[in-house]
């Protein structure tokens, strides 16, 4: 299979930055949705990370006529029966645990973090894991998918400014720092997205000739 361009199907600037670094050694031009002249809105309404990633991949590949890499990822907290899960990006506004309003000058990420810390206040069981499902899909209906996990615990308060999402309150196993306190290179070595991307790169290396 000969491919000279791949579209990264996300508008999340943090994910774009990580994907570009992870795939920089592939001899392929990496495009993002911001490079596309036309925009489409894909609703993530499936019940699993993989189903959401596959839905996005198929719709972007068919619309833009390009090979696409998409991901759905999120945080699963043991005490909350797996929540936020597929609702990770919009956890602050779902009914589970009560809606958390966004304050003036506050981001959605900060509202998500505030809600999660509120639900875990005073709890000893703070076990959690990040999950990533990545899909590679072409307009010819050829696809691959991989997954990655990062286990750890939820911190008592946010620390660090290098990450995004829940990174400021997630402490990986074997570390005393949150993901937001780690350099991007170090984070990519251990992260759920890094692991899933590495597995995808190994698969792509076998088919991209």
Task: List pLDDT tens digits, range 77-88.
Answer: 999 999 999 999
Tokens of residue 112, six digits: 């998500």
What residues make up the domain containing 85? Answer: 5-207
Q: How far apart are CA 85 and CA 130, in angstroms?
A: 9
Q: How many domains does the chain have?
A: 1
The position carrying tokens 């068919």 is: 62
Confidence at residue 15, expressed as pLDDT on a 0 to 100 scale = 80
Contact between residue 136 and residue 69 where contact means Cβ atoms under 8 Å apart = yes
More confident position, 17 or 33: 33
**Helix boundaries (H) for the chain:** 13-22, 49-64, 108-120, 184-190, 192-207
Q: pTM of this prediction? A: 0.89
Q: Can you tell me the mean pLDDT for 89-112?
A: 94
43: CB partners within 8 A, 6+ apart: none
Confidence at residue 23, expressed as pLDDT on a 0 to 100 scale = 74
**Helix boundaries (H) for 47-149:** 49-64, 108-120
* pLDDT single digits (tens) 121-173: 999 999 999 999 999 999 999 999 999 999 999 999 999 999 899 999 999 99
CATH of the domain at 159: 3.90.950.10
Q: Is residue 14 helix, strand or coil?
A: helix
Contact between residue 184 and residue 124 where contact means Cβ atoms under 8 Å apart = no
Confidence at residue 207, expressed as pLDDT on a 0 to 100 scale = 80
Q: Which positions are catalytic?
A: 72
Tokens of residue 132, six digits: 């990533």
The position carrying tokens 């031009």 is: 29
Percent share of the chain, pLDDT over 70: 99
């Amino acid at each position: 299979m000969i491919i000279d361009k791949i579209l990264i199907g996300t508008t999340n600037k943090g994910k774009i930055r990580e994907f570009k670094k992870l795939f920089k050694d592939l001899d392929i031009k990496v495009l993002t949705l911001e490079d596309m002249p036309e925009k489409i809105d894909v609703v993530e309404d499936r019940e699993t990370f993989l189903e959401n990633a596959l839905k996005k991949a198929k719709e972007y590949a068919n619309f833009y006529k390009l090979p696409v890499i998409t991901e759905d990822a999120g945080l699963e907290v043991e005490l909350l029966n797996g929540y936020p899960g597929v609702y990770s990006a919009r956890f602050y506004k779902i009914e589970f645990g009560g809606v958390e309003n966004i304050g003036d000058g506050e981001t959605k990420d900060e509202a998500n973090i505030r809600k999660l810390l509120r639900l875990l206040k005073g709890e000893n069981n703070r076990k959690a894991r990040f999950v990533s499902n990545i899909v590679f899909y072409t307009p010819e209906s050829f696809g691959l998918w991989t997954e990655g996990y990062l286990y750890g615990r939820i911190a008592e308060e946010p620390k660090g400014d290098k990450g995004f999402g829940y990174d400021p309150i997630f402490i990986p196993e074997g570390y005393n720092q949150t993901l937001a306190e780690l350099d991007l290179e170090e984070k990519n070595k251990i992260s759920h997205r890094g692991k899933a991307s590495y597995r995808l790169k190994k698969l792509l290396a076998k088919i991209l000739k």
